[in-house]
């Protein structure tokens, strides 16, 4: 069931004192609005994908394999509702870059090289706006109400659903333009299931461009956000 939006209603209250001419009427507008949802749900994350302080010498010691890879950081997330309801979420990065032309590759959590897409390689930039590298987002370990579930996604706002290629603890690569819905279903099904509590993991994989590392003479930082937004379906 979708959330029901209550239309805005404007009600004009007219006053016409006897001593006033008709054109001198005063008016006041009462605005009435609201939102009805099938249940009250919250989505939250625990912690950040913090890479801390990494020295250039440490990066070079580890070696460059299509980029200086910073490793994987895991961020747990949770969707909790006050009653069972069908929900999904979108994943949207603050900015997207030309991932298809990136000078580096991002590693999948299983260690393999992840294919480049413009809507999934998220730029890392320094304080001057110079491109340092990229990172990507993966999802895994979905659990809902202590049940075994499958990860599913929709490319048409929930009209149709498909099973994500990877399941369980195997991570799924996510495109982060905000135009896909991610949800969950009973094992073997493709219909989103109503749940009260669902949790999963977001994996972040990042890499720095080797030529950028060669120019570092002082501390540089990167700080970017990716938003998980709850959707009622």
| Alpha helices by DSSP H, 77-154 | none
Query: Is 207 within 8 Å of 215 (Cβ atoms)?
Result: no
∠ CA(207), CA(213), CA(216), 5° rounding? 135
The gap from C-alpha 25 to its chain's centroid, in whole angstroms, comes to 51
**CA atoms of 97 and 118, how far apart (whole Å):** 6
Q: Hey, what are 95's tokens?
A: 């900015």
Whether 87 is covered by a domain: the verdict is: yes
Whether 176 is covered by a domain: the verdict is: yes
Whether 143 is covered by a domain: the verdict is: yes
Dihedral pair phi/psi, residue 131, rounded to 5°: -70, 125
pLDDT in tens, the chain (233 residues): 333 333 233 333 333 344 444 555 577 888 888 777 778 899 999 999 999 999 999 999 988 889 999 999 999 999 999 999 999 999 999 999 899 999 999 999 999 999 899 999 999 999 899 999 999 999 999 999 988 799 999 999 999 999 999 999 999 999 999 999 999 999 999 999 999 999 999 999 999 999 999 999 999 999 999 999 999 99
Q: Hey, what are 178's tokens?
A: 């905000």
Domain span at residue 106 reads 40-232
Query: What is residue 141's predicted lDDT score, i.e. its pLDDT?
Result: 95
Query: What is residue 133's predicted lDDT score, i.e. its pLDDT?
Result: 95
Whether 16 is covered by a domain: the verdict is: no
Whether 25 is covered by a domain: the verdict is: no
Query: Is 151 within 8 Å of 202 (Cβ atoms)?
Result: no
Whether 65 is covered by a domain: the verdict is: yes
Task: State pLDDT tens for residues 113-160.
Answer: 998 999 999 999 998 999 999 999 999 999 999 887 999 999 999 999
**CA atoms of 205 and 99, how far apart (whole Å):** 14
Q: CA nearest 89: which of 145, 137, 51, 50?
A: 137
Whether 70 is covered by a domain: the verdict is: yes
Query: What is residue 23's predicted lDDT score, i.e. its pLDDT?
Result: 55
Q: Work out how many domains the chain is built from and give that number.
A: 1
> Domain holding 109: CATH number?
2.60.40.1090
Query: Is 124 within 8 Å of 206 (Cβ atoms)?
Result: yes
**CA atoms of 180 and 174, how far apart (whole Å):** 9
Whether 161 is covered by a domain: the verdict is: yes
**CA atoms of 96 and 133, how far apart (whole Å):** 12
**CA atoms of 167 and 65, how far apart (whole Å):** 27
């Amino acid at each position: 069931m979708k959330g029901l939006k209550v239309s805005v209603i404007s009600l004009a209250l007219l006053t016409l004192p006897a001593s006033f001419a008709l054109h001198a009427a005063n008016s006041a507008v009462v605005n009435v609005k609201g939102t009805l949802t099938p249940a009250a749900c919250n989505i939250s994350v625990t912690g950040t994908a913090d890479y801390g302080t990494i020295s250039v010498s440490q990066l070079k010691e580890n070696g460059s394999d299509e980029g200086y890879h910073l490793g994987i950081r895991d961020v747990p997330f949770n969707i909790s509702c006050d009653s069972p309801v069908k929900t999904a979420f979108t994943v949207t990065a603050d900015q997207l870059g030309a991932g298809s032309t990136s000078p580096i590759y991002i590693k999948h959590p299983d260690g393999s090289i992840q294919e480049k897409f413009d809507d999934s390689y998220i730029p890392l930039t320094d304080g001057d706006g110079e491109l340092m590298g990229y990172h990507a987002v993966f999802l895994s370990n979905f659990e809902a109400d202590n049940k075994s579930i499958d990860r599913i996604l929709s490319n048409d706002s929930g009209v149709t659903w498909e099973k994500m290629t990877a399941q369980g603890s195997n991570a799924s690569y996510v495109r982060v333009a905000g135009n896909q819905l991610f949800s969950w279903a009973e094992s073997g099904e493709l219909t989103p299931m109503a749940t009260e509590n669902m949790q999963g993991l977001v994996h972040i994989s990042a890499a720095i461009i080797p030529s950028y590392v060669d120019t570092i003479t002082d501390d540089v930082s990167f700080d970017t956000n990716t938003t998980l937004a709850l959707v009622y379906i």
